[in-house]
Amino acid sequence: MSNHDHAAPRRKTFHEVRAALLARQEIALLDVREEDPFAQAHPLWAANLPYGRIELEVLWRIPRHDTPIVVYDDGEGLAERAQQSLQAIGYADVALLDGGLAGWRNAGGELFRDVNVPSKAFGELVEAQRHTPSLSAEEVKALLDAKADVVVLDARRYDEYQTMNIPGSTSVPGAELALRVRALAPDPKTRVIVNCAGRTRSIIGTQSLVNAGVPNPVSALRNGTIGWTLAGQQLEHGAARRFAAATPQQREQAARDARAVADRAKVGRATQAALRAWRAEAGRSTYVFDVRTPEEYAAAHVAGTRSAPGGQLVQETDHAVPVRGARIVLLDDDGVRANMTASWLAQLGWEVHVLDGLQAADFSERGTPANPVAELAAAVPWIAPAELAALLASDADKPIVLDLTTSANYVKQHIPGARWALRSQLAEVVAQFPGAPRYVLTCGSSLLARYAAHELAALTHAQVQVLQGGNAAWTAAGLPLEQGETALASPRIDRYRRPYEGTDNPREAMQGYLDWEFGLVEQLGRDGTHHFFVI
């Protein structure tokens, strides 16, 4: 092999990636663009890991260094840089997708819109096959207005519920439903209505209760808060109603029901000895998740586990487990949440096991451990907040301050005069400031800014420094702040605006989102790589 051949980056074709997915081999297909372009078009099993965040996210999202990884972009030049970054961190099997996104499309590959698509497509498949019962927004409002014997349970994260909710509803995140429903609706005649913002979590939540054999009549709120809004009905904001504790008898009943559902879905059972062996196994990735609430996890958890509340894990498996074909092990302390969550992951085509035999003493760790991040290649030149404040107040040699935090955080508050920038677009940003003598990089904590410092230094002859402690240290020092989109050096493409979040979405976007969801089952059929089944 010539030196030239050796230097050429490795590539994998659409057909090689598809063959690995069909064979259930481990593969991580990474879209290294920002989230908004990713959401416009990507393959079903692509996971979004923006180039600018690789050092912060990859070690916990792809724990095994010899995992086969395939990276792509859409011609932005990010894939080659991502490949180099991953190899520098220690990943041994990193290839470029031949032809990038266009190569996938040209080879006949199906492309999907939006985020968390595997879970959303699966939800539509569940409803199509099981005819999950649902009620329209008008029907639910009529029941509430008539003071009928009904409870509305919101299956989203608590922070989403607080933003907007169906009036009178209670927050019960998805994995909690089977455990808590008897405490919230002890009379079997009480109608239970499950909602989310769109469709998926209300379908999965409702079907969870049906699968678990709950005696109450159960229905999804059709199209969630979107459907409610499109019907011209008002939402509540800032609510704080949360689920109640289950009695010991209710927990035991729920645990029996959940185990039966897991058995029907062919969920595996794991012992601690088996888990130790799996973790030591070469050539296979094992993810271990505690699916209880984040508060329970922080209070006490099993060492070496990650917090992943079960409802969100089912909704966002592509984020938590970007390695398709990996093994997943779930645990809880009640026998309900792990079994119910595992039943859905199994139907989503994952090898999933529930860790049995845990004792109270096994939950010995406190707090929420920080995610591992990649080591820095070189030392970073720091500048203290007070020193930067003095420079910005002077007339001469004012540095250009580039803030690499999320655009949403930047808009909330930032250092006066700071420009918001994407790390992936530093070359374009530098071109806007020809001859600038000095740059200061910052972000929330300066964790991300540290990695960008050497890249920025390579692009310019200017002095490059990093704000010590980042925006948090600046704020803690009581230094001035400003709000709003005051100076954007990059377009705000770091986050895709979901049509089902927030309270000011255009009706057309909401209706378009629902129409898109209805079409997902047909897309799944054309794609053919999903391995989904429905019990």
Enumerate the domain spans of the chain: 9-115, 121-243, 266-362, 382-476
> What percentage of the chain carries pLDDT values higher than 70?
97
Residue 439 has pLDDT above 60, yes or no: yes
Cα–Cα distance list, 281 to 20, 21, 275, 278, 284 (Å): 20, 21, 10, 5, 6
Cα–Cα distance list, 29 to 20, 68, 345, 418, 481 (Å): 11, 9, 19, 35, 40
Same fold, 266-362 and 382-476: yes
Residue 501 has pLDDT above 80, yes or no: no
Helices (H), 265-412: 272-280, 294-299, 310-315, 317-320, 337-347, 385-393, 407-412
Cα angle: 484, vertex 432, 83; to 5 degrees: 95
Residue 505 has pLDDT above 70, yes or no: no
Could you tell me the pLDDT band of residue 517, with boundaries at 50, 70 and 90?
Answer: confident
Give the predicted TM-score (pTM) of the model: 0.94
Residue-level pLDDT at 5: 43
Closest alpha carbon to 336 in 182, 156, 535, 179: 179
- Give the end-to-end CA distance of the chain in Å, rounded to a whole number: 52
Residue-level pLDDT at 7: 63
Q: pLDDT by residue (tens digit) across 386-416?
A: 999 999 998 777 999 999 999 999 999 999 9
Cα angle: 17, vertex 20, 25; to 5 degrees: 140
Q: pLDDT by residue (tens digit) across 199-227?
A: 899 999 999 999 999 999 999 999 889 88
Question: Which residue type, as a one-letter code, is found at position 104?
Answer: W
Which CATH code of 3.65.10.10, 3.40.250.10, 3.90.1170.50, 3.30.565.40 fits the domain covering 382-476? 3.40.250.10
Domain 266-362 has CATH 3.40.250.10: yes
Handedness of CA 127, 130, 136, 137 (dihedral sign): negative
Residue 504 has pLDDT above 70, yes or no: no
Residue-level pLDDT at 512: 72
How many CB atoms neighbour CB 359 within 10 A? Answer: 8
Residue 178 has pLDDT above 70, yes or no: yes
Residue 15 has pLDDT above 80, yes or no: yes
Residue-level pLDDT at 510: 73
Could you tell me the pLDDT band of residue 511, with boundaries at 50, 70 and 90?
Answer: confident
Domain 121-243 CATH class label: alpha beta
Q: pLDDT by residue (tens digit) across 16-71?
A: 999 999 999 999 999 999 999 999 999 999 999 999 999 999 999 999 999 999 99
Q: pLDDT by residue (tens digit) across 449-476?
A: 999 999 999 999 999 999 999 999 999 9
CATH code for residues 9-115: 3.40.250.10
Cα–Cα distance list, 417 to 52, 174, 399, 410 (Å): 23, 43, 10, 11
3-state SS, residue 89:
helix
Residue 184 tokens, joined: 């919230």
